[in-house]
Amino acid sequence: MISDNVKKIPALRGVINFLISVGLAVLFLYLAFSDVNFSEVMELVSQASILWVIIFAASIMLGHYVRALRWKFILHSVKPDVKMWNLFGALMIGYGVNCVTPKLGEVTRAIMIGRYENLSRSSMFGTVIVERVIDIISLGSAVLISAFIWSASLYEAFPWLEAALYISAIILFVILLIIYLSVKLKEKFYGYVIKLIGKISSKLAERLGYIFEMLIQGFTSLKGTKNFVLTFITSIIILFIYGLTSYLGFFMLDMQSGNNVTFAMGWIVMSISAIGVVIPTPGATGSYHALAKSTLVLLFGFGETISAAYAFLTHIISYFLFILVALIMYFVLNKQHTSLINIFKSNSEEA
């Protein structure tokens, strides 16, 4: 009976986490749409330019292809000939899972690429952590650039933003310090930490040990000046494409006819709304809408309805695009790898 109860605890925790994420999504959706007529929002969405919707969707997919390419550079020292098709497929499957269960997609894509490329799961988890650290640095940089571009009113419109940047910088510094000590000193550093934590909780110490192992494997996989440079360049390209995607979103709703839209505006919308992606809601639902709409209204003077329509349309396109591509890639890759396994088995039997 005790073992059955222990098994139920992780499942119960998972249900609670899911309900919290859904609750947050509902709260942020209410904040985003409570002061607008939703039928008017849908009317604007229904009039969106199909051509610009296609261009917007293509820009999203381009950004994620470059993400897969960056992942290839990170993995180069582990396996130089890892297939882009597998990397892109695993990445999109992960994003599809994130649209339903927040953050579980990162675990999923590590498992999938490990299976497709015959690599250890722990090392793949490590490379995903590397990517996330790079993304946090990139997001902070993007917000700082936004503050420089729109310094007159950015912090006034979002009073919490400056404090959030300082707190994030401190947290990031601590994370980077831990990573540096883990990679540089390895067993000496994390062995001491685990021993210290073990006095409080052996289970927590065991989990921390696993995390340290993943960190070390992930960051030691990024070797060579060339791979560092290529990872840095692709990270900049990813930010540029994301900013471009937000900029293209204006044209879907003909927002350029009422205001002089610029790439800088798209960059700022991308930077601020990306903070919503950090909040654990399914597919950034609600958190993205609230921040994107607030940015358009408070900084650029767009109306509440058109701003809500922009947030709704840009999110719904990416949301369903991720799920659709994730399903396609899952079935195609699974079929492909099942066929390869069967061929290998038949060749082995013949031999």
Q: Is there a domain that residue 27 lies in? A: no
**Domain total of the chain:** 1
| Entry pTM | 0.84
286: left (phi over 0), alpha (psi -120 to 50) or beta: left
Q: Is residue 129 in some structural domain?
A: yes
Q: Which of these ranges, 45-59, 97-111, 238-252, has the smallest mean pLDDT?
A: 97-111
Of residues 67 and 176, more confidence is placed in: 67
Given this model, what pLDDT does residue 171 score? Answer: 76
pLDDT in tens, 151-195: 667 777 777 777 777 787 787 777 777 777 766 666 666 666 677
Q: How confident is the model at residue 10 (pLDDT cuts 50, 70, 90)?
A: low
Domain containing 80: what range? 38-92+112-337
Q: Within a domain: residue 218?
A: yes
- CA-CA distances (angstroms) from residue 74 to 104, 150, 213, 226, 254? 21, 34, 17, 11, 39
Q: Which residue has the higher pLDDT, 88 or 206?
A: 88
3 in a structural domain: no
How much is the pLDDT for 306? 95
Q: Would you state the pLDDT for residue 302? A: 93
Range with the poorest average pLDDT among 65-69, 203-207, 331-335, 346-350:
346-350
Tens digits of per-residue pLDDT, 89-110? 999 999 999 988 877 888 899 9
pLDDT at 152: 63
| Cβ–Cβ < 8 Å for 288, 315 | yes
Cα–Cα separations (whole angstroms), residue 129 to 123, 132, 211:
10, 5, 10
What value, to the nearest 5°, has the Cα angle with vertex 170 and ends 288 and 150? 50
Q: What would the pLDDT profile of 277-302 be if each residue is shown by its tens digit?
A: 778 788 888 899 999 999 999 888 89
CA dist., res. 335 & res. 317, Å (int): 27
Contact 91, 68 (CB under 8 A): yes
Question: Is there a domain that residue 25 lies in?
Answer: no
Is residue 37's pLDDT more than 50?
Answer: yes
pLDDT value for 139: 87
- Dump pLDDT digits (tens) for 305-318: 999 999 999 999 99
Provide the residue type at 100 as one letter. Answer: V
Is 102 a member of any domain? no
